[in-house]
Every structure is written in structure tokens, then in C-alpha cells.
Amino acid sequence: MKVVVGLGNVGDKYKNTRHNVGFILLDKLAAIYNLQFSISKKLHSEIAQKDKLILSKPLTMMNNSGGSVKSLATYYMLLSTDLYIVHDDLDIKLGEYKIQKGKGPKVHKGINSIEKALGTDDFWRVRVGVDNRDSNNRTPGEQYVLQDFTSEEKEILDKVLDETCKKLATL
């Protein structure tokens, strides 16, 4: 079984922000596999499922994702090897990604919430780079991730998300 959780914030206000890259990637995966999301109140998530693949978009705000992920882990009796958390990462440049187990960004409150809820950091992270800031004008990270991608950045993002989806399909 593979459970892929995309982190993001709920609501149209956040739909195209850097912080919602997890939701954006899951929408792309759902389109590839021809899946539709439906709301699961007991799992506090939007869920799409096909065979042994489960896609989840928590219905909580990013920084409170832990409860939703804990519900998924309990309900599906997940092993850490089954769980992939997709999130934005300011430690990685826009256009790049990393898939790593037990390693993450220096600061990410959504990941911190999940680690606290699960009692471990031993799960897969799909770290999608979103940092495209000018080195001379560094907008603080908390503000930057809540900004929408520019049209040029969306083109770069689309390519890296395609690569990431292909890689996830092989794992």
C-alpha cells in the first residue's frame, strides 16, 4: 500500500500558493490515475483511492496536518514505508525535488505537526522546492510561501511535478 498525503491549506485563497504544492501535486496524480476526491469526515481528508494507492489532502490547515495523518495511519494500519508526505520546501530551489526518509526542511510546521502526532520522523518526505527568491530581497519564508506562484514559476513547477509524479509511480 502507498499513501500519498499532500500538504496545503484549505480554501480558494491558498489554492495557487507555494504552500499548497502538496495539494497541487495530488491533483496532478489524481488526473494521471483518473481518480476523484471525496470527503472523508472520519479521516479529516479528501481521499482518492485506486487499488493500493491512496491520495489524501487533509481538511485542516497546513500547520495542523498531524491529526489527519494520524487518522490515516491508524485507519489503514500504515507502516512508515507506506507513507509519503508531499510538501513545499524553502531549503530547495524551485524546479528541484527530493524524496527522502526521515529528512526534512529546517523549519516546516506542517511536518512538525505530523512528527508530533505520529511520534516519529520515520516516514517518506517528497520535498518540492519552492524557493525562487532574489538573494538581495529575501521575503521572510512565512510570507513567501503564502504568495501565489508567478506564471513563469508555474511553468517550472509543472515540469518538476511531472518528474515527481513519474518518480512516485516507480516507488
Amino acid at 86: V
For residue 87, what are the CA distances in angstroms to 32, 92, 99, 127, 137? Answer: 19, 11, 11, 6, 24
Could you tell me the CATH superfamily of domain 2-170? Answer: Peptidyl-tRNA hydrolase (3.40.50.1470)
- 108 counts as catalytic: no
- pTM listed for this prediction: 0.94
Closest CA to 87 of 59, 60, 119, 109: 109
Handedness of CA 65, 70, 76, 78 (dihedral sign): positive
Catalytic residue among 19, 44, 87, 108: 19
Express each pLDDT in 112-156 by its tens digit: 999 999 999 999 999 999 998 888 878 888 889 999 999 999 999
